[in-house]
Amino acid sequence: MRVIVLGAGVIGTSSAYYLAKAGHEVTVVDRQHGPALETSFANAGGICPGFAGPWAAPGMPGKIVRWMLARHSPFALRPRLDPYQWRWLIQFLKNCAPERFARNKARMQRIAHYSKACLKELRGETGIAFDHGAGGVLQLFRTEEELAGAEKATRVLAQFGVAHRVLEAAGVLAIEPSLRDAAVSFAGGLHLPDDETGDCHKFTAALAELLRERGVAFRFDTRVIGIRVEGKRVTGIVTDTGTLDADAYVVALGSEAAPLLRTVGIDLPIYPVKGYSVTIEAGENVPAPRSSVMDEHYKVMITRMGTRIRAAGVAEIAGYDLSVRRSGAATVTASLRELFPQVGGLTTVKPWAGLRPMTPDGPPYLGATGIKNLYVNVGQGSNGWTQACGCGRIVADVISGRKPEIDMEGFGIDR
Ligand SMILES: Cc1cc2nc3c(=O)[nH]c(=O)nc-3n(C[C@H](O)[C@H](O)[C@H](O)COP(=O)(O)OP(=O)(O)OC[C@H]3O[C@@H](n4cnc5c(N)ncnc54)[C@H](O)[C@@H]3O)c2cc1C
């Protein structure tokens, strides 16, 4: 079949890889001048099935209230006269109920672990380099109260069979010796040795390059304006450079998928949640994480990517506004300066912001829509890098008429 993938982020490019592998003739369309230049550009780099779970969790509403009053907060709400923002918030709060959290977590764990296996296979098949690290992720607790909260997390990890270890301060230093220089004290940590790291942009760019060599067409600088539907079938994609047609179409436009899909009657509750990051060229000799540290205090993840250190976090609900606010960037840099002062003090770098395509319950939407030859691969939220290969594989399987290798329960647009 001829398949057009809309979006060359990590999700669209991974979809293209599996579609091409299945023998389809694939074209990828993106408004940017290259792959992964929007949300997939500078995320925290965590490939973390162990941590994969919904943000809508029991206790979250109380935490949000506390964060809204805190200095260097990991959360900000900028209310808009936007019914979709309010609908998303209400649905998010409803999904904080314990039984919904358990159901959503199980769905996200299913896709995330599958995706890690798919990525491993893809790495073996392609040999692409993306500063991949397999040193695990260390969740760091600064206070006894935060450490006590880890107990609940370990019960959930045990339930899903995720390897983990609770550590006291000495154990934390054994995993990440550079924390010896931290400007703050910490009570302990939770280590997930099987989680991995890597540069999502490098991965996507390398994969796109390889796909081009394999005959996949990339049409950059092409903005999708509309989807032409006739009699419950897509007959073309309208872009600012003309109409494109194919036998099947995959929407992988991140947060932008929601408004576009609404124009053809598919109303998915995906809403952008802005996050920030800074990336510092630290070299080899500056005390910095060996792998990745999740600072539970600020909810900021600090990850090594080769000789660079990336710190990323913050959830700012402010619509499609991509402006880099000083408050958001300050939370990320505060975490870095407090935990790894020598990296934090290295240089003033320009912060980056990206929009996570969040569903209110957590899992993405994958596969068929009510329109015959239109498919979605959207809503991966804060886990898109972790879930990309699994989601791409599943959508390619659905389009190819093959049964996906994992249970599709909870990933449909009708859930
Ligand atoms: C601060 C931060 C930290 C994160 N950390 C992690 C992490 O550690 N681990 C993890 O798994 N995930 C993480 N994520 C989430 C992850 O980055 C996203 O889930 C993922 O990048 C989404 O990929 P995507 O391809 O759906 O979206 P995008 O990368 O945004 O791709 C969508 C593409 O569609 C294109 N597009 C949009 N509209 C149009 C249009 N009208 N016409 C043509 N093209 C269009 C865009 O140019 C873009 O290239 C993080 C996100 C942020 C913001």
Q: Which of 3, 19, 7 is nearest to 211 (CA)?
A: 19
Q: Distance, CA 13 to ligand 1 centroid (Å)?
A: 11
Which residues, 6 or more positions from 273, have their beta carbon under 8 angstroms from its beta carbon?
315, 316, 317, 355, 356, 358, 381, 382
Q: Is the CB of 386 under 6 A from ligand 1?
A: yes
- pTM as predicted: 0.98
- CB neighbours of residue 381 within 10 Å: 26
pLDDT of residue 406: 98
The per-residue pLDDT for range 154-203, each reduced to its tens digit, is 998 999 999 999 999 999 999 999 999 999 999 999 999 999 999 999 99
Beta bridge partners of 354: 275
Q: Is the CB of 44 under 6 A from ligand 1?
A: yes
pLDDT of residue 20: 98
Q: Is the CB of 244 under 6 A from ligand 1?
A: no
Structure tokens at 257: 């998928």
The dihedral sign for the CA sequence 304, 306, 309, 310: negative
The per-residue pLDDT for range 7-48, each reduced to its tens digit, is 999 999 999 999 999 999 999 999 999 999 999 999 999 999
Q: Is the CB of 31 under 6 A from ligand 1?
A: yes
Q: Is the CB of 356 under 6 A from ligand 1?
A: yes
Angle, CA of 307, 114 and 354, to the nearest 5°:
50
Q: Is the CB of 11 under 6 A from ligand 1?
A: yes
Q: Is the CB of 316 under 6 A from ligand 1?
A: no
pLDDT of residue 297: 93
Q: Is the pLDDT of residue 348 over 70?
A: no
**Rounded Cα distance, 122 and 114, in Å:** 12
Q: Which of 382, 387, 395 to mutate to test the pocket of ligand 1 (most atoms within 8 A of CB)?
A: 382
119 contacts 132 by C-beta, under 8 angstroms: no
H runs (alpha helix) in 263-366: 326-339, 341-344
Q: What Rg value do the Cα atoms of the chain yield, rounded?
A: 21
Ligand 1, atom 50, residue with closest C-alpha = 43
324 contacts 278 by C-beta, under 8 angstroms: no
Q: Which of 277, 293, 297, 318 is nearest to 71 (CA)?
A: 297
Q: Distance, CA 382 to ligand 1 centroid (Å)?
A: 9
pLDDT of residue 284: 76
Q: Is the CB of 135 under 6 A from ligand 1?
A: no
Average pLDDT, the chain: 96
